[in-house]
Amino acid sequence: MADGTTGGTSRARRLVLLRHAKSAWPDGVPDSQRPLNRRGRRDARAAGQWLREHVDGLGAVVCSPAQRTRETWAIASAELDGPPSVRLDDRVYGAPPDDLLAVVRGLPADAGTALLIGHNPGVAELVDLLSGQGREMRTSSIAVLTWDGGWADAAADVADLREHATPRG
């Protein structure tokens, strides 16, 4: 049953993809340790406000372990009421869309809505893979995708792209 009810074997899923906010490029700092810059901190806050206004029932958050993605979530989540704990996943850092798809397929079954915070080009390519609609995923861009079924059903062209935004602070 793919009617969105919890009584069946599957239900509607909503995947929110967030590209990290704008980062700094300090000399001698490895890519994975690059922090957000001033604009990035403002935009991460704006992304959190956008999530608060447009996404309810967030049940799971998966984030790249990179400094800029963790900072994006820390700032954005401060704008949310009772955000879920974040799960850092090494597979999200610098991942191609097939690796990100494997992460999505492993999301908790009890989460109807999940947020994945990652990097380009993988995030933009995942939007295109799942929905068949290419969108530019600038820093702090958010894409909201939905489909009927479980997380394991995530596949090419299964999703509808419901919203796309690039909040700025």
How wide is the angle at C-alpha 107 spanned by C-alphas 102 and 113, nearest 5°?
Answer: 125
What CATH class has 12-165?
alpha beta
Neighbours of 39 (CB within 10 A): 16
Confirm whether pTM is higher than 0.85: yes
Strand partners, 164: 143
Strands 86-88 and 160-165: unpaired
Give me the residue spans of the domains in the chain.
12-165
What residues have CB less than 8 Å from 169, skipping those under 6 apart? 39, 41, 42, 43, 44, 45, 46
Q: Residue 10: its pLDDT value, please?
A: 56
Tens of pLDDT, residue by residue over 138-168, are: 999 999 999 999 999 999 999 999 999 999 9
What digits encode the pLDDT tens for the residues 14-37? Answer: 999 999 999 999 999 999 999 999
pLDDT tens digit string along 71-101? 999 999 999 999 999 999 999 999 999 999 9
pLDDT at residue 1 tops 50:
no
